[in-house]
Amino acid sequence: MKIAITGAGGLVGSCLTNQMAADHQLLPLKHADLDITNKDAVFAFAQREQPDAIINCAVLNVDECETDRPKAYAINVAGPQFLAEAANEIGAAIVHYSTNYVFDGKEEKIYTIHDEAHPVNNYGQTKLDGEKAVTDACSRHFVIRSSWVFGVGKPNFLSIIHRNLKAGKRSKVVSDCWASATYVEDLVARTREILERQQAGIYQVVNDGICSYVEFTLEAGRLVGLSEPEIYDLIELISDAEIKRPATRPRYTPMRCLLSEEIGLPSLRHWKDALAEYISKTSNE
Ligand SMILES: NC(=O)c1ccc[n+]([C@@H]2O[C@H](COP(=O)([O-])OP(=O)(O)OC[C@H]3O[C@@H](n4cnc5c(N)ncnc54)[C@H](OP(=O)(O)O)[C@@H]3O)[C@@H](O)[C@H]2O)c1
């Protein structure tokens, strides 16, 4: 297939580019190559290149969505809508990523697409609105919600905590949030399977198991050879409220994918196994 990837410079976009390059004709587009909020540019690109699928990885991050609402709407809602409309016009499929932050996480349960989405921050709200814009605009839509993604490509907390612990660097760890964690390589592999199966809908792609940032930190530390007391010496537990970020995070949002189950795709491996592979693959960096 000829596949365009927007937001290709980010965590998910760069992994998609690396993993899919051998099997598909890829058009990886970094922000500077295509601004998805530029409607004319999006339509001109689609008409010119006629891709079979567009995979949208462009996004505005959680805290900036709270402080710049017009920008959040442009990148997380309007841009995805332009891409979906342009895809529909040329008969292409659209893959669009979304998030566990569409849920409020007030109940301790595993969330499915049958649970009501009720975001607690503007990132979650714009991602939810973006899902609707994409599904309304393009019949061949594959919306993939994911959660707490880690891997090579972005130095977020989950991706670097093992390195910080190994280096003896102190870290603050949020103690009151639980979710599913997702290794970016597994998310991308499952994205490819979803595209091949051609069953439109909303997916929730995460590694198996539930974790808190503390549990993730303990496992990361164990994998780099530290004992539990050694890890606790290096971390300061802090609540989400104490961290004072612009956006509140939902408290408890593990997910499960009903649509994957329906089309016979097995659960992804446990996050601990995925984390072990990530750390062993990057141990020389
Ligand atoms: N990372 C997670 O933990 C996580 C969890 C759940 C869901 N997701 C979803 O997964 C998807 C990918 O996330 P990610 O973690 O890969 O994000 P990321 O690493 O922040 O990458 C996003 C990319 O989008 C680009 N971008 C921003 N505005 C753009 C625009 N107007 N036009 C084109 N590109 C633009 C950014 O480029 P610049 O930096 O140059 O602006 C950046 O390279 C998103 O839909 C996100 O909601 C991620």
Quick: pLDDT tens for 92-145: 999 999 999 999 999 999 999 999 999 999 999 999 999 999 999 999 999 999
Nearest CA to ligand 1 atom 32: 35
Pocket test for ligand 1, best of 5, 17, 19, 59 (most atoms within 8 A of CB): 59
- Å from CA of 106 to ligand 1 middle: 26
Mean pLDDT of 25-37: 98
Nearest residue to 50 (alpha-carbon basis) of 87, 22, 83, 6: 87
Q: Is the pLDDT of residue 285 over 90?
A: no
- Å from CA of 219 to ligand 1 middle: 26
Mean pLDDT of 207-220: 98
Q: Is the pLDDT of residue 284 over 80?
A: no
Nearest residue to 239 (alpha-carbon basis) of 199, 273, 212, 277: 212
Domains of the chain and CATH, by start: 2-149+182-209+254-268 (3.40.50.720)
Nearest CA to ligand 1 atom 24: 58
255 lines ligand 1 (CB under 6 A): no
What's the pTM value of the predicted model, to 2 decimals? 0.97
Token pair 């990057």 is at which residue? 282
Cα dihedral 271, 124, 200, 138, rounded to 10, equals -150
Return the pLDDT at 283: 79
At 205, is the pLDDT very low, low, confident or very high (cuts 50, 70, 90)? very high
Share of the chain above pLDDT 90, in %: 98
Q: Is the pLDDT of residue 49 over 80?
A: yes
Return the pLDDT at 153: 87
36 lines ligand 1 (CB under 6 A): yes
